[in-house]
Amino acid sequence: MQDFIKRQARPQIFNLKPYTPGKPVEEVKRELGIEDIIKMASNENPLGPSPLAVQALKESLDSIHVYPDGNCFYLKHKLAEFLDIQTNQLLLGNGSDELLKLLVETFVNPQDEVIFASPTFSEYEFTATIMGAKCIAVPLLNFKHDLTAMLDAIREQTKIIYLCNPNNPTGTIVSRAEMDGFMAQVPGDVLVVFDEAYFEYVESPDFAQGMDYLQDYSNVIVSRTFSKIYGLAGLRIGYMVAHPEIVAAVERITEPFNVNLLAQVGALAALDDSKHLSASQTVNREGKVYLYRQLEQMGLKYVPTEANFIFLDTGQDCQPVFRELLSRGVIVRTGDNFGFPTYIRVTIGNPEQNQRFIKTLQEILKI
Ligand SMILES: Cc1ncc(COP(=O)(O)O)c(C=O)c1O
């Protein structure tokens, strides 16, 4: 069978590095036999889902025998109003992951090139590799996108440039002046994807949203999600905003019912839940201040973040630190698969989770 797969499968699939997701709580419970576990590994919302979304979902359960609206009519209208755009500028997907994949399936040929930062969110490399594209990973400079080097990497074959803003795993952003200069120099036929999965957490007044460039640049695509601040990761729903012709091209290859009924209902209600949104921002802001203070007292370096996670230097091999944290019920992400073998990425939690993370880290590092 192995020979059969080698012979018959597309060769590109053997170039893929498998995605390492944050360990699920249930798996850790089973493996380690501990009950009291906190997951600070996947940048989920520590307040849980929007209560308005939960209520709407409960009320919709009796309708799940019918197919969802394939065009997401109500959600598209609501989002368009919310974002002050036209409905034909919107794509909805089974998480923004699906939209990132649909985008390369629509635009990327084998031998085309895509450019992204390193380290950054792994989905760009994953999806482009499936299509047989050449991936150009441009190292971060001081944990930030090196836009000059990314511009230098553009060639005739370049199809897409990804800007993860704020960047996962570092939490850094590109300033408005940098972004203005960059956009002015990117050729018009190279797509620029602004992945803004975490933009609702940004506090810096210097943040340049992709939406601000849509008017002037038809090659801009903004990708966002309901998984993070809206707390709907389990439902799988995200959206992209782009020029109507880009949207129409991607729609050609989209499955008829790619956004399930509950995801549409949950997202619609969550958009009304400004109370949950601002509570989520507050808990993140306060958690960030607390964690910064504690890390400074412990003498640990960290990258100041504009997102809901912190990339920090444990000062030693991250693997034993990760395992010790895990054995005490605290799940984080290791930095080694991001090329930073002494770092870990921790999601900013609620006060209780943050305190437990710090206390456990102090025990392990003996500081
Ligand atoms: C930068 C970034 N983009 C996109 C995603 C995927 O989000 P979704 O749950 O909408 O697929 C994530 C998830 O962690 C992410 O970190």
Please indicate, yes or no, if residue 54 is contained in any of the structural domains.
Answer: no
CB 146 within 8 A of CB 139: yes
Could you give the number of structural domains in the chain?
2
Q: Cα(302)–Cα(358) distance, rounded to whole angstroms? A: 14
Q: What is the CATH number of the domain that holds 348?
A: 3.90.1150.10
Q: What lines the ligand 1 site, CB under 6 Å?
A: 43, 95-97, 121, 164, 168, 195, 197, 225, 227, 233, 238
Residues 202, 77 share a domain: yes
Q: Is residue 53 part of a domain?
A: no
Any idea what the CATH number is for the domain that residue 95 is in?
3.40.640.10
**Smallest CA separation from ligand 1 atom 2, residue:** 197
* Residue 268: CA count within 13 A, CB half-sphere: 19
One domain, residues 182 and 319: no
Task: Please give the residue range of the domain that contains residue 33.
Answer: 2-48+275-365
CA separation for the pair 161, 117 (Å, rounded): 9
**Nearest Cα to 256, choosing from 41, 69, 49?**
69
Say yes or no: 122 and 221 in one domain. yes
Same domain, 296 and 162: no
Q: What is the pLDDT along the chain (367 residues), one digit of tens a residue?
A: 889 999 999 999 999 987 777 778 888 888 888 889 999 999 999 999 999 999 999 999 999 999 999 999 999 999 999 999 999 999 999 999 999 999 999 999 999 999 999 999 999 999 999 999 999 999 999 999 999 999 999 999 999 999 999 999 999 999 999 999 999 999 999 999 999 999 999 999 999 999 999 999 999 999 999 999 999 999 999 999 999 999 999 999 999 999 999 999 999 999 999 999 999 999 999 999 999 999 999 999 999 999 999 999 999 999 999 999 999 999 999 999 999 999 999 999 999 999 999 999 999 999 8
Residue 245 tokens read as 């012709």
Question: 312 and 268 in one domain?
Answer: no
User: Ligand 1 pocket test: which of 40, 228, 333, 345 has the largest number of ligand atoms within 8 Å of its C-beta?
Assistant: 228
281 and 265 share one domain = no
Instruction: Examine the domain organization and report whether 337 and 289 are in the same domain.
Output: yes
Global pTM value: 0.96
246 with 284, same domain: the answer is: no
**155: number of CA atoms within 13 Å, CB side?**
10
Residues 174 and 94 in one domain: yes
